[in-house]
Structure 1
Amino acid sequence: GITQTGFTLEETTKEIDVAIEGARNKGFTGQSSQSTEVFILPDLSDTEIDSYFRKIENVNPLSIPRREWLYGNHYIKDYLSLTVAPGGVGKSTLVLTEALAMVTGKALLGIQPLKECKVWYFNAEDPRDEILRRIIALCQHYKIDYEKELGGLYFGSGREVEMLLMAGDHGTLNTKLIDMIRQRVKEYEIELIIIDPLASVMTSSESVDNFKILAKSLSMLADECKASIEIVHHTRKLNNAQEVSVEDSRGGSSLVSASRSARILTKMDAREGDALGLEDYIDYFKIEPAGKNNLSRPLDKISWYKKIGVTIPNDDIVAVVEEYKPPSAFDGITHQKLKQLWESIKGTDTYLMASIQSARTEHKMSVHEYIADFLELDYDAKVTKTRVKTIVRSWLDSKMLKIKSVPKSDVDPKSYRKDMVKIVVTGENIPGNMYAN
């Protein structure tokens, strides 16, 4: 039975009734993944039905509104956007920094916001004091006067007042709270909502169906408020060797499908750190182009960020994020030196092999090793190999170098083989000022 020892059936029934009434008073509607399968047929007018069957006629392309991007190619009004990362990468610090960039209109991370806008940042996990520490640290690092410049920032903490948007195994939406949020967002003219993280504003099981219901509700909220809604979300448990993408977010593809821009953050690994010459590589992370971005072109290069510690006035050390730009392969090389290198490649009698793996002999060496020797770089260092590969690739693309096929016997006098091997020679163009400092 449903009764516990010492309770009558009548007493138990009364307690259940009280619990149900309490849930209703908190705003839970009883709408669930099961109830969403029930279709209520609306009584539509002929005009509304006609809207299902529009034709392309008398359309002025200039009358179609432009997409309202707020920041880069990620935050866009009327839609959801998604940032996914394993724990500890830096997603909360990144989105908070981007929020301050949009509130102040400043390019804090190298991206210029299209305009200043009001932002509501809700952190469902951290206490209010921790959020304030991060805001103060960012203001200190980026020289923001928080009393004068952060009037458009609203924030809340789930430790102070819980914000529960969904509960129950079947995904019951808290429509009463969502309606109250909608009203306040419109009243304050907020253009960006950040929910960090999504899993902490729901107690329902993290099923595909539940995430789909919640994402649809948030998409409608974004549309009705003419705002962008950013969801910060965790990945599911992954093994260390697994390639990660936004599809690995908890809840699978349901959130990705509902988002118009999705990105994945991953830590820099030891191999990447070596290639960039960074010993403190664990403090760096990147936005992977393996995310999802179906309203603009995918990133054509990886965006790197670095976490550093800032000591705020109370002597706490708080992490902030700043943009990191890997050094150019041509940094520190003058135009004159580049021209001399090109002339040296043109005049050498040594065969310069296209493969970086080519072993050095009396007659041949890789073009990469030749360039490293000429520039007096440590060829055994991984950062040097990365650098010279970039130089070779750049010069091939700009036709300052070209690849030529020659018989192997030309490269190795001891060989009688006539199969062809690839060497690098100078091309039709010579180095210009575009690569030199």
Structure 2
Amino acid sequence: MRVINGGRAATLAPQPAMREPTPFVWLDPATQPTRPWTYGNHLQRKTASATVAPGAVGKSSLVVVEALAMATGRALLDVTVPAPLKVWLINLEEPMDELNRRMAAAMLHHEINPSEIKGRFFLDGRDCELCMAKQVRGEIAINTPMRDGLIKHIKEHGIDHLTIDPFVKSHRVTENDNSAIDAVATEWARIADECNISIELVHHTRKGNGQELSSEDGRGGSSLLNAVRDGRVLNKASSKKKKEIGVDVVSDRATYFTVTQDKPNYSTGSGAEWHRTVGIELGNGDWVATVERYTPPDAFDGISVADTLAVQRAIDMLEDPRQSAQANNWVGKSVADVLNLDTDNDKRRIQQMLSAWQASGALIIEKRKDSGKGREYPCLIVGEWVNET
């Protein structure tokens, strides 16, 4: 084993002198190779990336579907996959029988024939006993036989992508020790580089106490996020948020969550992309969850030009059409009356429509003066009337 003290490799032999600096040579951008992405702009060859999430959100089910997308070459979650790839998924928490159930649920739901992934999908569970490093009395020992064996298998089978779920089970070092975590994460990055593959490290977050989490909220030291080239975070939707995106929280008990790429090194990242869990009956009586993409309904779904004109007419009849949703005379109440909406359950949707009508000029802001308090307040009045024809 190669011993690392304080996160730095010990000098075991004289090292070569620093080489001469390399002169920069201009290359025509049009002829340069494109980045070797393996999944959207999150996973790339020769790099390690991280996905962090709290428990019971759906991260393990998500990476199963993403691995299947890479193996089939299909955009199962509306994320670009360059071609069918060879994928190795190692889940260090679950037994194989449970992983087989999750695979079955995902393949049934996304209509994947086993022949599509034959020879391209490799799956191992917690009996794999993968341990990349240990920490004893402050010293970090990289398990070189384990690492070298892993590299050998990756090259022999032509693996293109490797997922480790969860990262914390792939080592035995102190989680809050940044030097130790950096040593382990750097070792995974070295493997990605040597094998020309992408690696996904799945990690748990600290308790969020109901707050929106970022990839920086990964449990333990911050070195994991610093060592990877791309980071993303999963956030579970609250009941309030589910209502805002059009979910009937009484009848729909699925987990809804966002995936946000908030630590991009090689891209511009992504906004919050919605997903949800789906229960699949396997045929043996078991119901198992998998993941699919979810698109929140557009605020104007089912709203016609005639409806917009009716809203304008109703607002034009108001004496005091307040813009503020906190006002008793909030203009949104008239919108709700015309469109048969609920000002409580559909409040977010009404606000989105009002904002869109302002942006288009169908409604405009007019400042009026409160005669009693002497302050100005904004009202929404009709701007440019819409034309039904």
Question: What TM-score comes out, normalization by structure 2 length?
Answer: 0.90
1:326 aligns with 2:296: yes
Separation in structure 2 between the aligned mates of residue 148 and residue 77 of structure 1, nearest angstrom: 23
Assess, with a 3 A threshold, how the Cα gap between structure 1 residues 118 and 291 changes in structure 2: closer, same or farther: same
Assess, with a 3 A threshold, how the Cα gap between structure 1 residues 340 and 164 changes in structure 2: closer, same or farther: same
Count of matched residue positions in the alignment of Structure 1 and Structure 2: 384
1:272 aligns with 2:245: no
Separation in structure 2 between the aligned mates of residue 290 and residue 142 of structure 1, nearest angstrom: 24
Separation in structure 2 between the aligned mates of residue 49 and residue 429 of structure 1, nearest angstrom: 71
2:370 aligned partner: 408
Equivalent of 1:303 in 273, 291, 298: 273
1:234 aligned partner: 204
Separation in structure 2 between the aligned mates of residue 432 and residue 200 of structure 1, nearest angstrom: 62
2:129 aligned partner: 162
CA contact (8 A) 2:312 2:385 kept: no
Which stretch has the larger CA shift, 32-41 or 211-220? 32-41
Assess, with a 3 A threshold, how the Cα gap between structure 1 residues 242 and 421 changes in structure 2: closer, same or farther: closer
2:306 aligned partner: 336
The alpha-carbon deviation at position 73 of structure 1 amounts to 2.6
Alignment identity in percent? 32
1:348 aligned partner: 317
Deviations 1:72-107 (A, max 9, x none): 232222211111112211110001101101111222
Separation in structure 2 between the aligned mates of residue 370 and residue 151 of structure 1, nearest angstrom: 61
Equivalent of 1:257 in 219, 226, 244: 226
Assess, with a 3 A threshold, how the Cα gap between structure 1 residues 350 and 298 changes in structure 2: closer, same or farther: farther
- Structure 1 or 2, whichever has the larger Rg, is 1
1:246 aligns with 2:215: yes
Structure 2 unpaired stretches of 5+: none
Separation in structure 2 between the aligned mates of residue 418 and residue 225 of structure 1, nearest angstrom: 71
1:426 aligned partner: 382
2:258 aligned partner: 287
Assess, with a 3 A threshold, how the Cα gap between structure 1 residues 192 and 44 changes in structure 2: closer, same or farther: same
Equivalent of 1:89 in 57, 69, 75: 57
Equivalent of 1:376 in 340, 344, 347: 340
The alpha-carbon deviation at position 65 of structure 1 amounts to 2.2
1:4 aligned partner: none
The alpha-carbon deviation at position 335 of structure 1 amounts to 2.9
> Which protein has greater RCO, CA pairs closer than 8 Å, 6+ apart?
2
Task: Please list, as runs of the form range in 1=range in 2, the aligned pairs for 1:356-367 lying within 5 A after superposition.
Answer: 356-359=325-328, 365-367=329-331
Separation in structure 2 between the aligned mates of residue 243 and residue 330 of structure 1, nearest angstrom: 27
Separation in structure 2 between the aligned mates of residue 121 and residue 325 of structure 1, nearest angstrom: 27
CA contact (8 A) 1:246 1:264 kept: yes
Deviations 1:24-80 (A, max 9, x none): xxxx333343652659663247xx3222xx33x433222332222222232222211
Separation in structure 2 between the aligned mates of residue 74 and residue 313 of structure 1, nearest angstrom: 35
Structure 1 unpaired stretches of 5+: 1-27, 360-364, 410-414
Separation in structure 2 between the aligned mates of residue 93 and residue 298 of structure 1, nearest angstrom: 22
Separation in structure 1 between the aligned mates of residue 261 and residue 7 of structure 2, nearest angstrom: 34
1:211 aligned partner: 181
Separation in structure 1 between the aligned mates of residue 338 and residue 11 of structure 2, nearest angstrom: 74
CA contact (8 A) 2:310 2:338 kept: no
Question: What TM-score comes out, normalization by structure 1 length?
Answer: 0.81
Give the letter aligned to residue 195 of structure 1.
Answer: I
1:117 aligned partner: 85
1:313 aligned partner: 283
Separation in structure 1 between the aligned mates of residue 384 and residue 306 of structure 2, nearest angstrom: 18
Separation in structure 2 between the aligned mates of residue 249 and residue 95 of structure 1, nearest angstrom: 17
Separation in structure 2 between the aligned mates of residue 323 and residue 143 of structure 1, nearest angstrom: 15
1:73 aligned partner: 41
Assess, with a 3 A threshold, how the Cα gap between structure 1 residues 289 and 396 changes in structure 2: closer, same or farther: farther
CA contact (8 A) 1:105 1:114 kept: yes
CA contact (8 A) 1:79 1:223 kept: yes
Assess, with a 3 A threshold, how the Cα gap between structure 1 residues 351 and 65 changes in structure 2: closer, same or farther: same
Larger helix percent:
1
1:140 aligns with 2:140: no
The alpha-carbon deviation at position 149 of structure 1 amounts to 3.5
Assess, with a 3 A threshold, how the Cα gap between structure 1 residues 398 and 36 changes in structure 2: closer, same or farther: farther
The alpha-carbon deviation at position 427 of structure 1 amounts to 3.3
1:31 aligns with 2:4: yes
